[in-house]
A and B are shown apart, each in its own frame.
Chain A
């Protein structure tokens, strides 16, 4: 991301709390950043969209063209030194831990997996792409070995992790360490300390960083698309014009935003197996609320703008989190839901299935794209070693495997 060589990143400021119980599947951007440094997938996608080795050293298609034959390197180990054999991958991905039925999050991406020998796996993906096994780079398939009594599961990088309320520290076998500072009320406070990296959309923090000579601001990829999900919306209803989306991005959303740019991954998924939308539990009776994720500032701005634009349909904006949000979204009894989608998922079909599970009343053809948003990395000058990957994740060189 930063071309010039420089000092390694040693202190990183986080915007959200990190919960080890979620590892290796992140629930927010901060977890995405920390987990990426600890847990590997079999392959990775580089910033050019190419599949590159992750934990696996090589992969090829089987003779029948249906299955991916993935080879693990002989020296692959978990951070406690135990070997990562094909049977270990099988055990981690299965429900019973010995290679039976696949775990639900694995099952969405993988149809079957067979251990060919100690180092080789035969994997049949649900959405086979002829050119490359992109789905294997999904964080749902990152390898993490639970250890009884330990907060953090073991990863396959040779790194040790400790955490307390104030920070999470990753120390590699080579002795380098990266400290991730827990979020504060105001991210600018972290810039006043000795952080090397802060990833944020907070405009006040970005404006402040712009006035601080030791920092530079680097834009990350347009990674999230904010969309409006409307119960009972007809396919024939007019979508927002590009100009209207542009106005939303400019006037409604604080922080960096642009009009949502197509093509959108949820459109034209005719080959994807999804259940047909079913009527809302409340029969399209609207509460008048526009519901948004209360932890998502851009979603709040958009929901409030919808209320500001048409109060007869959208009477009030309501921020919800956790179970309350999931329940409201599942029931579909509100005027609309402003949600954040991954802009470029590795497996669009799998992503759509997840969306439909959480929003069973939704007809994907009625999703209204609103705006794209992106974060910025505020990096201390003279520091480098941050690699942006194809799925929007960031790898920090200091935490890299020293294998």
Chain B
């Protein structure tokens, strides 16, 4: 090997190694900074969702309050629910259905002092069933935000619900109302299509993206495992979920509202900037 060649190789090594180290460091730093940016963004989305849920919950409470003031002035309701006038019974049974549609709720039931459903909007013929401790469980929810498993005649659904007790003629009643928590609701919370919002709870999962069953994760999969399997910025919010299965005692479990932003676009960006 000639001296010229040796010098050329030596200079190449001396020049290329620092460049490669620089590029590697740059890539690491860029990835870290962008990942942090993504994580910050996800964290702020989690914060926004928390506020949104509080606002939605307060909105439900406002609607229940309006219903309450309508109910206490409704003589037909009073006749049916307090005086027990038989001819007004049908009015009482249909009341929650009409009120639910008017107020834009997707779940509404009126319970008497014995926690017996006297009128149900989402399941008209459920009247007479005793829903023990639901009112108390809703009242105990942190910040008034709680999810409930509700049932219509043909399916079970999740609802963000509130309870509002009121009295007519010395008798106590409770309005329990809510809005359905489904893919559409979570998509509204996410605002951005790039962000995936999933609600994971014992027994099920609702998400803004429909994953094929082969890649669907178990509901108890941790955020870290999820991130390892599919790199993403992840934020989480804990919510109480009140499960009201028929024949089983009421149970309060923890549901996790998970906000995920996949890092795939970030990886693609880094690849484009540094290698192409």
Contacts and interface: CB of A to CB of B under 8 A. Distances in A.
Interface stretch (B121-129, B212-220, B232-240): B121-129
Interface string A287-304: 000000000000001011
Given A250-B89, A251-B89, A312-B247, A318 B125 contact: no
Contacts of A301: 124-125
B153 A317 contact: yes
A312 B246 contact: yes
Nearest to B117: A308
B91 to A, nearest CB: 11
A311 B125 contact: no
Interface string A254-287: 1000000000000000000000000000000000
A106 interface: no
B246 A311 contact: yes
Given A250-B89, A251-B89, A311-B247, A316 B125 contact: no
A252 interface: yes
A307 B123 CA distance: 10
A383 interface: no
A80 B115 CA distance: 68
A210 to B, nearest CB: 14
A-B pairs with the 9 shortest C-beta distances? A311-B246, A304-B153, A305-B125, A308-B126, A304-B125, A317-B153, A308-B125, A316-B154, A307-B153
Q: Chain B interface: which size bin?
A: 10 to 19
A304 B124 contact: yes
Q: Chain A interface: which size bin?
A: 10 to 19
Given A250-B89, A308-B125, 20 more contacts: A251-B89, A251-B93, A251-B128, A252-B125, A254-B90, A254-B94, A301-B125, A304-B124, A305-B125, A308-B126, A308-B129, A308-B153, A309-B128, A311-B151, A311-B247, A312-B246, A312-B247, A316-B155, A317-B154, A318-B154
Contacts of B247: 311-312
Contacts of B126: 308
Contacts of B153: 303-304, 307-308, 316-317
Interface in B119-166: 123-129, 151, 153-155
A333 B93 CA distance: 32
A347 to B, nearest CB: 34
B128 A308 contact: yes
15 contacts: A250-B89, A251-B89, A251-B125, A251-B127, A254-B94, A301-B125, A304-B123, A304-B124, A304-B153, A307-B125, A307-B153, A311-B151, A312-B246, A316-B153, A318-B154
A328 to B, nearest CB: 14
Nearest to A309: B128
Interface in A299-355: 301, 303-305, 307-309, 311-312, 316-318
Contacts of B151: 311
A308 B127 contact: yes
Nearest to B247: A312
Contacts of B94: 254
B8 to A, nearest CB: 80
Contacts of A312: 246-247
A251 B91 CA distance: 10
Contacts of A254: 90, 94
Nearest to A305: B125
A309 to B, nearest CB: 8
Interface in B154-206: 154-155
Interface string A213-252: 0000000000000000000000000000000000000111
A97 to B, nearest CB: 47
Nearest to B120: A308
Nearest to A250: B89
A9 to B, nearest CB: 31
Contacts of A308: 123, 125-129, 153
Contacts of A304: 123-125, 153
Interface in A31-49: none
Contacts of A251: 89, 93, 125, 127-128
A251 B118 CA distance: 11
Nearest to B154: A316
Contacts of A305: 125
Contacts of A309: 128
A316 B155 CA distance: 7
Interface string B4-33: 000000000000000000000000000000
A320 B117 CA distance: 28
A307 B155 CA distance: 11
A317 B155 CA distance: 9
Nearest to A253: B125
Contacts of B125: 251-252, 301, 304-305, 307-308
A318 B153 CA distance: 8
A315 B154 CA distance: 8
A304 B124 CA distance: 8
Contacts of B89: 250-251
A353 to B, nearest CB: 33
A248 to B, nearest CB: 10
Nearest to B92: A251
A309 B246 CA distance: 10
B156 to A, nearest CB: 9
Contacts of B90: 254
A252 B155 CA distance: 19
B104 to A, nearest CB: 21
A118 to B, nearest CB: 58
B15 to A, nearest CB: 73
Interface string B66-96: 0000000000000000000000011001100
